[in-house]
Amino acid sequence: MIACLYAIAYIVMWPVMFGILPSYSSYYEVGDIYFTLATSFMALGLWLHKDLKWTVPAYALVGVALFNCVDWPTLHNILAVIFFLSSTYIMFNDKRYPMYGTISIYWYVLLGLHNGVFWFEVVQTLIISTFHIRYVLEWMRVRTEKE
The rounded distance, in Å, linking the Cα atoms of 73 and 67 is 8
List Cβ<8 Å contacts ≥24 apart for 36-42.
Answer: 36/65, 36/66, 36/68, 37/65, 38/10, 38/13, 38/14, 39/10, 39/64, 39/65, 40/65, 40/66, 41/6, 41/10, 42/3, 42/6, 42/7, 42/10
pLDDT at position 29 is: 87
The mean per-residue pLDDT over the stretch 70-80 comes to: 95
pLDDT at position 96 is: 92
pTM assigned to the model: 0.85
Q: Per residue in 26-47, pLDDT tens? A: 888 887 788 888 888 777 777 7
The mean per-residue pLDDT over the stretch 92-116 comes to: 92
